[in-house]
Amino acid sequence: MLTKRNILLVLSTFICLFGLAQTAKSERFEVNNDIGYAEAVKVGNTIYISGRVGWGDMKEALRRSYISIESTLKHYHATFENIIKENIYTTSLDSVIKNKDVRKEFYKNNHFPAATWVEVKRLFSKDFVVEIEAVAIINEQKKGQSRK
């Protein structure tokens, strides 16, 4: 039954969601129009980092992927401590597990994010052996302030 209270509740929910959609502006970093993706998208204080790939030896492939993520984090004045979620896709999960210590080079003091590791049949290029995507949260600061 539609009561005045229910109508107001639905209306206020719609207004809140519409307001959030209007204020959620996004910033894209390093857009690749050939493939059709942005290397990262920042919405509010959340950074969504597209999958970064590595090839060759798994240890070096992981390092390449994390160095690429680190480059994007630096663009936003962030570090690996800001990452809250990480997804690893690989053609050899056993090899990632064997080389998991590479992560400790980037996630200092065991400050690991929530993570998912998945073995897949193949990645975008047959040469790629790993792809890592991440989500980071940053604190908004006024221009001119530096981050510790």
The pairing of strands 128-137 and 83-90 is: antiparallel
CA distances from 132 to 5, 21, 40, 119 (A): 47, 28, 13, 12
Dump pLDDT digits (tens) for 83-134: 999 999 999 999 999 999 999 999 999 999 999 999 999 999 999 999 999 9
Query: pTM of the predicted model, to two decimals?
Result: 0.76
CATH topology of domain 26-137: 60s Ribosomal Protein L30; Chain: A; (3.30.1330)
* Residue 114: CA count within 13 A, CB half-sphere: 5
Dump pLDDT digits (tens) for 15-49: 444 444 444 577 877 676 677 788 999 999 999 99
Q: Where are the domains of the chain?
A: 26-137
